[in-house]
Amino acid sequence: MDILVLMKVVPDVVEELEVGSDGKSLDTGFLRTILNERDDHALEQALLLKDKHGGKVTLLTLDAPDIDDVLFTALAKGADRAVKICGAGSVSSTQMAARLFGETIAKTPGLLPVDLVLTGVSAIDDLDGLLAAPIAQKLGWPYAGVVTQATLADKTATVVKEFAGGVRGEYDVPTPAVLGIQAAEKPPRYVPVAKVRAAMKSQTIESVDAPAVEAAAGVEVQQMAKPRVTGHAEMLEGSADEVADKLCELLAKRGLL
């Protein structure tokens, strides 16, 4: 049971985000990136399946600053092989990313066959979840998204999707298939720094050249801006009595008293 995990990094929103000088993109000077959280879950789900069924877990990512740390961490957790797609520059459009992944999987010798391709169902820069389905289409495989559990049997993956109101759906998907992972069955595992360092010494990251893909037509960013302040909360300060007085005054002014 071999699994391919697609991972990408997204802007880390812990850091202050700044709009770039073009007014249409993030200022990359200040930007720091972090592994997409749902991709981390996809990796965990792949590792859980590997723990259960054996097989190999291969990581495929788009090259980015700090991506090596992400890949070595994943290798330290138990992935077997890491490949990054180089030369595509900074890919900000999900459609482009989907094409790059799809072409690379289809054309790079040695990546296929696999039983499953797992990736995060969405990302903070891809709330619609437009990455996995086009890849499935390109490969001609079935796709299931928003998956929270997956088990593998011969030629079939059984996946669970969670819906609103506590409703769960269980689906049988013929493999090979592409799954968009919402959450792994367990929280992503911790890997100690020492193991990551050991992986850096003992393992290598392979590179493949980015395939030539057509520029994606479609949605174009017109403007990017920080939310404008339209109103603010007023804090009533002073002693309890003073606050009560001010409150009464306010309510009276609005005709509520």
Instruction: For the CB of residue 146, give the shortest distance to another protein in the complex, in Å.
Output: 22
Q: In this complex, which beta carbon is closest to another protein, that of residue 41 or of residue 99?
A: 41
CB 141 within 8 A of CB 115: no
Q: In this complex, which beta carbon is closest to another protein, that of residue 23 or of residue 187?
A: 187
User: Which positions lie near another protein, rule CB under 8 A?
Assistant: 14-16, 34, 187, 189-197
Instruction: For the CB of residue 48, give the shortest distance to another protein in the complex, in Å.
Output: 13
Q: In this complex, which beta carbon is closest to another protein, that of residue 27 or of residue 206?
A: 27
Q: In this complex, which beta carbon is closest to another protein, that of residue 31 or of residue 160?
A: 31
Q: In this complex, which beta carbon is closest to another protein, that of residue 145 or of residue 188?
A: 188
Instruction: For the CB of residue 16, give the shortest distance to another protein in the complex, in Å.
Output: 7
Instruction: For the CB of residue 56, give the shortest distance to another protein in the complex, in Å.
Output: 21
Instruction: For the CB of residue 44, give the shortest distance to another protein in the complex, in Å.
Output: 11
Instruction: Point out which residues pair with 119 in neighbouring strands.
Output: 6, 180
Instruction: For the CB of residue 58, give the shortest distance to another protein in the complex, in Å.
Output: 21
* Adjacency order of strands within the sheet including 205-209: 168-174, 156-162, 143-153, 177-181, 116-120, 3-7, 57-62, 81-86, 205-209
Q: In this complex, which beta carbon is closest to another protein, that of residue 134 or of residue 188?
A: 188
